[in-house]
Amino acid sequence: MTTLAQKLAPNGPKRILALDGGGIRGALSLGYLKHIEDHLRKQHNNPKLLLSDYFDMIGGTSTGSIIATLLALGWEVDKIREKYFQLGEKIFGRKFKWWKIFEIDDAVKAKYNDEALVTELRNVLGETTLGDQEKIRTALVIVAKRADTNSVWPLNNHPKGKFYDSGHGNNKAIPLWQCVRASAAAPTYFLPQSIEVGGDNSYAAFVDGGVSMANNPALQMLMVATLKGFPYHWRMGEDNILLVSVGTGMTRWKKMPKEIKKSHLLSWAANLPEMFMQDASWQNQQILQWLSHSPTAFHIDSEVEVMKDDILSDDPERKKGLISYLRYNLFIDTKDLNERFKPTKPFTQKDVDNLAAMDNAENCQQLYDLGFKAGEQEILGEHFPSGFKIKS
């Protein structure tokens, strides 16, 4: 089995798994991940292969950071699914009451009490730290955002990182549960998370990594893997890096012009987070398709379409991209779901609005089933080239 040191090293082909944020909709990602795990087990003729055996770097934002951390610790997808469903029921079970808005305390600052979230993360992750070289089997990237400096922080476990163990910081000592809690501190849902980031009792406040361009963390993780400021220094090239990105479902923006004209300040404020998150995700998607000849390319828009004739490459003939790239995600939309899955009982707009909610734990099984069915249709064995097959 490949060691953590070998996975961190710059030599050889590298495989990256990036998981989106999206609250309880992470259950949909797990449906896709189950198929990826099955395909890789079949490719390697190993029914016990774990995603942490295959991928050299695993990371995520918000709910994606929870799943990514468990994968990096060597959990198989079925075990994560079972625990995830339990976590969802406990974490999103108790809302603060609306009348608490008249009370002057922390209860008015977030929709959910984070006690259950912290308790469950500590129960699952214990006191394992970001620098635990024995338990964490891969490069791990947990994307959070530092609220006091308005900067994205990709917390990672490379021992040569600038903030890993130095006068600049001591990231290796941060408990994993705190890293994940910081990444999952979605504004209005949970309070920010404070973490000691220096040896002088210096604390920083973190909010959800999704409140940035990295709710879809794939591009951010590619930068962590390849930019000189980070310690990995992995080589670009479609034979050198395979980037697999898994979403949590996406909705179609269907605001009619008349509705938009009637919008007021409060309605705009309520819609802005989703608008920004969708824009950021599509921008990441467009850039990553520009870097690759992706077999899973999405239709970006009516102007550039799937960008099949566009490639940003150092190859003069544009025959090879700078990465190999796979993106798996589905639209949570009545037309798409009904045409794609042909359910006995068609999805209504009310069903779709319910599934799109990021905090409805009752949707876990249905979201997982949708991701599993979509993975059955989308994920093909040839998506994972033999050049990236791990050596036994």
- Catalytic annotation present for 208: yes
- The two tokens of residue 351 are 């069903």
**Strand 139-146 to strand 57-61: parallel, antiparallel, or no bridges (unpaired)?**
parallel
Closest to 178 (Cα-Cα) out of 219, 131, 212, 217: 131
Q: Check if the beta carbon of residue 16 is closer than 8 Å to that of residue 241.
A: yes
- The two tokens of residue 95 are 């809302």
> How far apart are the two ends of the chain, measured CA to CA in Å?
7
Exactly one of 52, 208, 281, 292 is catalytic; name it: 208
**Strand 139-146 to strand 241-246: parallel, antiparallel, or no bridges (unpaired)?**
unpaired
Closest to 218 (Cα-Cα) out of 317, 321, 309, 288: 288
Closest to 217 (Cα-Cα) out of 26, 15, 60: 60
- The two tokens of residue 55 are 């991928």
Q: Give the C-alpha separation, 68 to 220, whole Å.
A: 15
DSSP state letters, 328-392:
E--B--HHHHHHHH--SSPPPHHHHHHHH-SS-GGGHHHHHHHHHHHHHHH--GGGS-GGGPPP-
Exactly one of 52, 53, 56, 62 is catalytic; name it: 62
Sign of the dihedral defined by the CA atoms of residues 1, 180, 291, 278, in that order = positive
Which residues carry out catalysis?
62, 208
